[in-house]
């Protein structure tokens, strides 16, 4: 779903624009003409074919909102090397 907001609307309610970007691109207009496009990071990465690393994700301001539960390792964590 495409959303269009004027620059004024965007400046007055950026959180609305961010929520709308989760459902599709948000076109921001200046004097009635498209000037910018706001995308979710997922959509941007899909379009550009890039992957984001966990380091990049944790560096983002919203990192505190990310839930991450790594799997527990089982078995030996190391194995002695056999020297010949």
Predicted TM-score (pTM) of this structure? 0.58
CATH architecture of 3-54: 3-Layer(aba) Sandwich (3.40)
DSSP 65: G
Nearest to 4 by CA among 46, 21, 15, 12: 21
Q: What residue segments make up the domains of the chain, in order of their start? A: 3-54
pLDDT single digits (tens) 18-28: 999 999 999 99
pLDDT single digits (tens) 31-68: 999 999 999 988 888 888 877 777 777 777 766 666 76
Percent of the chain with pLDDT over 90: 46
Identify the pLDDT of residue 45. Answer: 82
């Amino acid at each position: 779903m495409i959303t269009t907001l004027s620059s004024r609307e965007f400046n007055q309610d950026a959180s609305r624009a961010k929520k709308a970007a989760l459902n599709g691109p948000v076109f921001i207009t200046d004097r009635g003409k498209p000037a910018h496009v706001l995308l979710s990071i997922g959509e941007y990465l899909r379009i550009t074919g890039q992957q984001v690393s966990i380091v990049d994700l944790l560096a983002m301001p919203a990192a505190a909102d990310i839930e991450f539960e790594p799997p527990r390792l089982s078995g030996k964590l190391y194995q002695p090397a056999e020297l010949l």
